[in-house]
Amino acid sequence: ERKSQKNVFTLGENELVKEIKFYNKKAINFIEINVLLKDIYINTDANYKEYINIVNSVVIQKFDGILEKYKINDDLKRSFCLIISKMLSYQISKLVNSQIAMNELIKNLREQYSCNTALGNGLFGNIGVAIYNSLVKNNVKVVCAEHGLTTGLSKYSKDTINLYEPRTADYILTYNL
Question: What digits encode the pLDDT tens for the residues 124-142?
Answer: 889 999 999 999 999 999 9
pTM of the predicted structure, to 2 decimals: 0.81
Q: How far apart are CA 88 and CA 84, in angstroms?
A: 6
Q: How far apart are CA 140 and CA 135, in angstroms?
A: 5
- Looking at residue 20, its amino acid is I
Q: How many CB atoms lie within 10 A of CB 76?
A: 10
The string of pLDDT tens digits covering residues 58-89 is 998 888 877 778 878 888 888 999 999 999 99
167: pLDDT strictly greater than 80: no
Q: Tell me the HSE value of 26 on the side-chain side, using a 13 A CA sphere.
A: 1
What pLDDT is recorded for position 25? 84
Q: Please, are residues 170 and 117 in contact by the beta-carbon 8 Å criterion?
A: no
More confident residue, 29 or 173: 29
